[in-house]
Each structure stands twice: as structure tokens, then as C-alpha cells.
Amino acid sequence: MNAPGHGQAPLQRLRLPWLDAAGVEATVLRLDLIHPLVSGNKLFKLLPWLTQARATGAPGLISLGGPWSNHLHALAALGAHEGLATVGLLRGEARDTATVADLRAMGMQLHWLGYGGYRARHDPAFWKPWHERYPGYLGLPEGGACQRGVQGCSALLELVQSQLGAIGWEDFDAWWLAAGTGTTAAGLARAEDGRRPVHAALAVRPGQGAERNVIALLGAEPVIWHDASRGGFGKVDAELITFLTTTEAQGGFALEPLYTAKALFALRTSVSAGLFPKGSRLVFVHTGGLQGRRGFPALL
């Protein structure tokens, strides 16, 4: 699988009433359209690891996530496509979800760590037994939060710039996207190097790691953070679901409730509060992850 061309991730004008009311223009970078399984920003985080695996002859890749993990889902799909073995280290006790079923079907070897075992993932000795069990495999941090992930996500700037003319824009003023580990925001901030602000809407509560990750990855914190968590990761309420379904009908594209809907809801709040002057032009990054909708029966 090669890096996607911009035809697979179009930049589309975002037409929503609350943007019109504020006099703010926005586009959406449709990373959800890149690939049906290796979706969204996940592909950009993983491609440098694929390059490394090919260069070193690594037999497989190991990473971590929860039972609905978009990251593991994309990793398993990429491994199956490329003929690389994959191993998933999962949070909690064994359970069946649609995502877990997909991981098995795509050939990923699964290990359930419990909650205590998963919390130990930041310990210096965490990876030692897994590298002994799977010699030669590359170990990817949770969510791809590492320098390779930042490197891959930096390419999003060029992807947007190559399409501005097609939508009649010469330039834009700011980025807005959902953040879990903060890796994609860090990649954009590195690529921008201070030219445009990067606004990251936190899907997790503030202070739970994304901000520290960005500082560790970049040596600074050039990201503007917004709390979009609505009480914590995985917290979904009726107001958010109503916003999601209304926005899908108005905008003509699908969202999921844990990242993209929360980020767009937070953007509406900020736009309505006057954060961006009239005439501002924003790029909203659709980070994919639509497979996670299956965890919410109300959206099926």
C-alpha cells in the first residue's frame, strides 16, 4: 500500500448553518475516504513504520489499544495487506466487539493485558517480554504516538496545500482536529513551524497525556488545546448524538462520536463564541475511525 494521493482524501467545502451565521469558512479534509480499513490519520502514522519494517526485514508489528481501537484496526488491516504479522496488546479483560472480531479476521494475534497490565505500558521494562516472545517485531506505542507518527502526519500540510486551488482558496488561517494522543496535531505543528495555529480538540480529559506527548515529541507545545471530551474519553450524551446526526444530514458526510463529532461540536462552540474573526478560513481534519460507530447502537 503506497501513500495516498489527494484524490483519495479530498478537501471539501464545509457548509453548516453555524459557520454561515458567524461568517467563518471551513473545509473538511476527508481522510476517512483514504481506505475502507486503514482509515484517516492512522495511515499517515503507520506508513513510516511500514517503511521501517521493509528496510529492516521485520517480520511483524506489535502495538496497543482498547477493544474498539481504530489504531489496532488500521494496523491489522495494513499488516494483512502487506503480508506482515501483527500483534495487539489490548486493554482490559477479554471481550468480544465488532472491532475485536475484525482484528482476529485480519490475522492479528491478540493478548489481553487486564487494566493493571495495560497501565504498565509506560514502564521501561514493558516491551522486553514481548520482544522476547516476538523477536524482530517492531513495537509501536499506543496510538502511534512517536516521532515516526509525527513524521507521517506532517504530510497532511502538503496534502491540503495541493488542493486549495480546487476549492477557490489561496490560503487558510488555522487547523482544527480531534486529538487522542496528540500525534497528528504534533505533526501539523511541526510542518507549520509557527505559520498557522493548530487547534486540537481533546477527546480525553485535559491533562491525561496528549499535552505531555506533544511536548515530548516536539520539545515545545505549539498546539492550542480545547476540551472536547464532554467528561472523559468515551463519554457520549444525547446532545452530542443529536449534533452528530444533524451535522451528517447538513454536511453530507459521516462522523463518529468519540473523536470527529466531539471535535466538530467543540468547533461550533468556539466559532459561536467568536474565537475566529469573520472571514476566517479553517481546515477541519476528518481523522476517520468510522468503524467505531458500531459501538453505539443508536447510530446503527
Determine the pLDDT at residue 176.
Answer: 98
Question: Do 160 and 291 reside in the same domain of the chain?
Answer: yes
Does any domain span residue 55? Answer: yes
Question: Do 291 and 221 reside in the same domain of the chain?
Answer: yes
Question: Do 36 and 161 reside in the same domain of the chain?
Answer: yes
Does any domain span residue 188? Answer: yes
pLDDT tens-digit readout, 179-234: 999 999 999 999 999 999 999 999 999 998 899 999 999 999 899 999 999 999 98
- pLDDT, averaged across the chain: 94
Does any domain span residue 199? Answer: yes
Q: Residue 120 — pLDDT band, cuts 50, 70, 90?
A: very high
Is the pLDDT at 282 greater than 90? The verdict is yes
Whole-model pTM above 0.85?
yes
Does any domain span residue 164? Answer: yes
Domain count, the chain: 2
How far, in Å, CA of 260 to CA of 270, rounded?
15
Question: Do 80 and 207 reside in the same domain of the chain?
Answer: no
How far, in Å, CA of 133 to CA of 118, rounded?
17
User: Between the CA atoms of 196, 202, 207 and 212, what dihedral angle is there, to the nearest 10 degrees?
Assistant: -50
How far, in Å, CA of 263 to CA of 276, rounded?
16
CA distances from 230 to 85, 91, 263 (A): 37, 22, 10
Is the pLDDT at 1 greater than 80? The verdict is no
The residue out of 108, 124, 145 marking a domain boundary is 145
Does any domain span residue 1? Answer: no
Question: Do 87 and 173 reside in the same domain of the chain?
Answer: no
Determine the pLDDT at residue 4.
Answer: 45
Question: Do 90 and 183 reside in the same domain of the chain?
Answer: no
Question: Do 166 and 276 reside in the same domain of the chain?
Answer: yes
Question: Do 162 and 196 reside in the same domain of the chain?
Answer: yes
Strands in 25-30's sheet, in edge-to-edge order, are: 11-13, 25-30, 281-286, 174-179, 198-202, 224-227
Work out the angle between the directed axes of helices 41-56 and 70-82 (0-180°, nearest 10): 40
Determine the pLDDT at residue 164.
Answer: 97
For residue 26, what are the β-bridge partners?
A: 282
pLDDT tens-digit readout, 66-110: 999 999 999 999 999 999 999 999 999 999 999 999 999 999 999
Does any domain span residue 117? Answer: yes
The residue out of 86, 114, 145 marking a domain boundary is 145
Question: Do 98 and 193 reside in the same domain of the chain?
Answer: no
pLDDT tens-digit readout, 221-246: 899 999 999 999 989 999 999 999 99
Determine the pLDDT at residue 8.
Answer: 81
Burial (0-12, 13-18, 19+ Cβ within 10 Å), 281? middle
Question: Do 131 and 20 reside in the same domain of the chain?
Answer: no
The residue out of 145, 177, 203 marking a domain boundary is 145
Is the CB of residue 7 less than 8 Å from the CB of residue 166? Answer: no
The residue with cell 458567524 is 22
Identify the domain containing residue 262 by its residue range. 6-40+148-299
Stronger pLDDT, 297 or 269, i.e. the higher one: 269
Burial (0-12, 13-18, 19+ Cβ within 10 Å), 147? middle
The residue with cell 478537501 is 11
Identify which of 171, 201, 176 has the alpha carbon closest to the alpha carbon of residue 188.
Answer: 176
Determine the pLDDT at residue 156.
Answer: 97
Question: Do 288 and 234 reside in the same domain of the chain?
Answer: yes
Does any domain span residue 11? Answer: yes
Question: Do 23 and 66 reside in the same domain of the chain?
Answer: no
For residue 29, what are the β-bridge partners?
A: 11, 285
CA angle 270, 282, 218 (to 5 degrees): 90
Is the CB of residue 91 less than 8 Å from the CB of residue 67? Answer: yes
CATH number at residue 124: 3.40.50.1100
Helix (H, G, I), strand (E, B) or coil at 277: coil
Q: Residue 47 — pLDDT band, cuts 50, 70, 90?
A: very high
Does any domain span residue 123? Answer: yes
Determine the pLDDT at residue 300.
Answer: 59
Q: Residue 5 — pLDDT band, cuts 50, 70, 90?
A: very low
Is the pLDDT at 2 greater than 80? The verdict is no
